[in-house]
Structure formats: C-alpha cells, structure tokens
Structure 1
C-alpha cells in the first residue's frame, strides 16, 4: 500500500478536484521510503529516466517498451510549464518510432470534439480553436502551457481526443451520487469499476482534511460516497475515451495527458483502463524538486523523469 500522501500532493489533488467538482469553499522494483527533501533535492534520482527509487532506465530500451503499449499515460501538474515541455518531448519521441498515434486530453470535455478535429485539420486559427473548444471555461489554465503540444499534433495530423466530461456532471454526481443521475445525462460514461481500497483511503483523506466542514454522521458518509463516485466518474470518462481511441484504430498508440493524481499507483485511470481490457499500458510521471520523497515508492509509476536542469539537458527521450 502506498505511503500516506504528503500535504503538497493533497493540496495539488484538491485544487484539481475543486476545479472540476466545484466543492471547495481541490517497471516496478522493491525500494524503501525516503525522507522529505530539502529544497532543490531530487530524492537521489539520477538524471533522466528511472524507476521510482532511482534505478536508471536506458532511453532506447524504455522507448521500445513504450512503443509496444496501447496507452502511455503522461502525468502533469497542470500549471507547470516544464511538465508540458517534458510531455511534448515524450510525444515527439513516441511519434518518431510509432507514427500511428492519438492524443487523449483531460483538458477537454467530449462536447468540444468537433473543435479538436477542425484544429488538427488546420481549419482554425489558434484564437478560433481556443474559442470553439471553450478553453477559458472548461480548463482556465494559461493556454500557452499547452499550445506547443497542440501545434505539434496539428503539424503531424495527430488525432486529438476530448476524453473528459462537463464539470456540471461531476458536480451533480458529487452532490447526488452516480445512481441519482439519469443515464441519458451521463454523457455516455458507463459505471466505473469499484476503486481499490488504497484509492478509497486516499480520496477519503482528501475529503476528511479539506471538504467535510461541519458535516457529521450519515450526512457526512453520504457526501463522502458521492465525492468518491464523482472522482470515479472522472477517471472512467478518461479511460473510456482512451479505450475508444484504441478501438477506433487497432495498433494505435494513445498518449494521454492527465493530472498525476489520476495516475499514481495505478489507482485512477489505469485501474479503469484495466477494467476495460487495456492491459498494455504504462504510466510516466515527471519529478520536481519540491515533490515529497515519501511518495517515491514501489508502484508509483512505471517510470519517473527527473526534471532537474530540464531544458538544458536535452529531450526527455533520445531517438
């Protein structure tokens, strides 16, 4: 079972949850737990790619393994430019060895798919794309954090897939619960697979620390259940979007850009993907100096990338 989440990770997760739910008032190796780093410490990770804990991974071998997957899930902190530069480097490297690729994006709800299609076809200016995709309503982060990725997809005609749902839907499930929402209002999302005990514990910790307020007893239990169900809906929507892109073109590699909280320890989207029959998947996470080394444990991800001096060391994967 993963270690107790750090305060920094909890706050990051809560911020992401709040944006969507509107509820705030947000290659495995055995290894041990490490201490919280001082500023600028990268938990002993070597430069470049490694398994959680520090064992160096060779770029070519990692790239070959990734190219054999059906889905490669790239984590992020949404507001960190270095994370998106790293994602773009990985995307470029994978496209070079596996051109049949699609890009699945947490940023967009399903209803804006026509705007993504038109963008990839070169039919929209950047301003038109942001307007027609309703960016400033559905995501609200600075679009320049992501635009180089979107430009690359357009230039290479990489299909972009909107895999999220409307925030109004996740808020509704957060208030009423999954079963209270009529099927025709679920945007086509099926019933999520039950969460693991560890994921339930993690979400419960977030809820109890920051969302409960003065709710007690049965009322609190109902709100906690609805809160977890809203998160599962969110995870399931993204997993189904990724799965749909895979089924649409057998042999395609789908690269997904998703907040790291949905990916860590395989609990969120990876768990739902496995329930949909996608076993050939890998999760990659960027690692920053202010991350808690207590989180760097066995099973966190298939590989992590040390972002120290990123931008001066070269691409995240050499091809």
Structure 2
C-alpha cells in the first residue's frame, strides 16, 4: 500500500499545481541545456505520455552510457541486459509490468526503446524497505554509505514542515498527521538510494547517465541532487522538471517544460 500510495501521490501533487512547477521557457533548446551533465535527471508526471516522449527524445540526443529507472528493480533491469524484445507487450510481460503499480507500459515504451543501447539500471527499493522507512531508522535501512550521502543529517525544521505539508496535500489530506514524518523519511531514503545506484552506473560506465524518475526526486533543493552533491561533489548534475500547469518562476530545476494535461480520474478517489 505504501508503494502504491507514493505513486498516486505524485499524480495528486501534480494535479494540485504545486510549487514544484515552473514555466516552459524556450522549448527548442531544452536538451542543449542538459548536454554538459555527467548525470541528467529527467523528471516526469508518471502518467503523462508527453513527458515520456520528451524523455525518449532527450535520451536519443544525449546518448548516455547508462539509464537508471526508478520503476525497475535490479532484477528487472538484468532481464533487459540482452536487449529489448521487439514488441511492447513482450517487454511488459517480461518485466511483469502490469503487476508493478506503474502506469501503462505503452507510455514508457519509447523511453526503453531510446535507451536500448545503454546499460540499464534498476533503482527501485524493495517494498518492505520503503514500508520500514515510515517507522524505522532510514540510515540503518540504507546501510553502508548513508553518512557519505548525508542521509544521517536532520532536515531544517522549515524544510521538514514544508515537506510534511506537501505529503499531506499529495495524499489528499487523507493521512494521519503522525504518519507524515515517516513519509518524508521514505522519500529521503529513495532519493539517497537512487543516487547510490546512479553513482554506481556512472562509475561502471563512465557516463553520461540519465535517470528516469518523478519530478519530486529530480528537484534540486530536496531530491537526488542533494545526495549526489554530498557523495560526489565533482559530478555535474542537470535536472528537468515536467509539468502540466504554469509553474512558479523559482522552481528547483535547470530546465522546465509544460505539457498538456493527461486525462485521468481524480487521483484523490484512491484515498476515499
């Protein structure tokens, strides 16, 4: 349930027009603004097909040596080591995608096709670890390297409060207040783990590395860039945020794009 709610929350937050967003800017040269990166974080609203088409476009242009997927486990990534099956439905079946809780695989297929020449890495944490993070010590759950990534550091009270408020809004005001710190901790654990896998991919392939992930993980002030900078300050990171509403001018991304909104039912129905 925790894992599924994290996915639904991303959709709910995007639909709310939260302050993660920013204006589109000049869309023609957006990929060029990512080309100097060792690591390019390509954010998304998970169920928006346009966002995945842009990610595929960026991968084709950037030609990364590795692509890290938030959506895949390491075991699923290994299944693709011999190459991508020809048909989208065969990929979905191989990965057991329909049981994963992610949106329809056909949305993601262009991204996988574009990434077919790169090494594929899966960054998804086991669900029991994500659940444990809600009530446990995330540095213990993370294991070796937690301090190097800065995971042991407490958030500033203002950031903690803002993140808890965002979690409450993202979950349609349906969470008990005492659960909010744990939800923030789970998000931090995932950010740190995604960063660990990304640095592994960079070390093993030489880069550049592209990461396919939700906007919340790509944001520069709270997401993966914080942990990447702590562990490897020499690594150049660029971020893309993709949105459906005209956003705030100070959104924490290097590049932002605005698309038309995806058709979807009210995401808050899942919390009623």
Q: TM exceeds 0.5?
A: yes
Provide the aligned C-alpha RMSD in A.
Answer: 3.4
Give the alignment of 1:208-219 within 5 angstroms.
Answer: 208-209=168-169, 210-213=173-176
User: Where do 5+ consecutive residues of structure 1 fail to align?
Assistant: 1-14, 27-35, 37-41, 50-58, 310-319
| Residue matched to 1:130 | 92
Deviations, residues 36-88 of structure 1 (Å, cap 9, x unaligned) = 8xxxxx98754516xxxxxxxxx29x62x532211011110000011111111
Distance 1:21 1:106, change over 3 A: same
Report the Cα distance in structure 2 between the residues aligned to 1:16 and 1:259, rounded to whole angstroms. 14
| Residue matched to 1:305 | 257
Q: TM-score when scaled to structure 2?
A: 0.75
Q: Which of 65, 74, 77 does residue 42 from structure 2 map onto?
A: 74
Distance 1:47 1:233, change over 3 A: same
Deviations, residues 10-37 of structure 1 (Å, cap 9, x unaligned) = xxxxx98714699xxx8xxxxxxxxx8x
Distance 1:158 1:92, change over 3 A: same
Give the alignment of 1:42-81 within 5 angstroms.
Answer: 45-48=24-27, 59=29, 63=32, 66-81=34-49
Q: Which of 98, 101, 110 does residue 148 from structure 1 map onto?
A: 110
Report the Cα distance in structure 1 between the residues aligned to 2:213 and 2:48, rounded to whole angstroms. 13
Matched, 1:114 2:114: no
| Equivalent residues of 2:23, 2:258 under 8 A apart | no
Q: Kindly tell me the number of residue pairs found equivalent between the two proteins.
A: 243
Q: Which of 161, 170, 180 does residue 201 from structure 1 map onto?
A: 161
Larger Rg, first or second structure (1 or 2): 1
| Equivalent residues of 1:195, 1:267 under 8 A apart | no
Q: TM-score when scaled to structure 1?
A: 0.65
Deviations, residues 152-181 of structure 1 (Å, cap 9, x unaligned) = 222xx2111111212222012213342675
1:124, CA displacement in angstroms? 7.6
**Secondary structure, counterpart of 1:245 in structure 2:** helix
Report the Cα distance in structure 2 between the residues aligned to 1:137 and 1:71, rounded to whole angstroms. 30
| Equivalent residues of 1:287, 1:305 under 8 A apart | yes
Distance 1:299 1:77, change over 3 A: closer
| Equivalent residues of 2:41, 2:211 under 8 A apart | yes
Matched, 1:171 2:131: yes
Report the Cα distance in structure 2 between the residues aligned to 1:269 and 1:125, rounded to whole angstroms. 32
Report the Cα distance in structure 2 between the residues aligned to 1:132 and 1:283, rounded to whole angstroms. 30
Matched, 1:283 2:246: no
| Equivalent residues of 2:37, 2:236 under 8 A apart | yes
| Equivalent residues of 2:69, 2:123 under 8 A apart | yes
| Residue matched to 1:261 | 216
1:212, CA displacement in angstroms? 4.0
| Equivalent residues of 1:266, 1:300 under 8 A apart | yes
Report the Cα distance in structure 2 between the residues aligned to 1:73 and 1:271, rounded to whole angstroms. 12
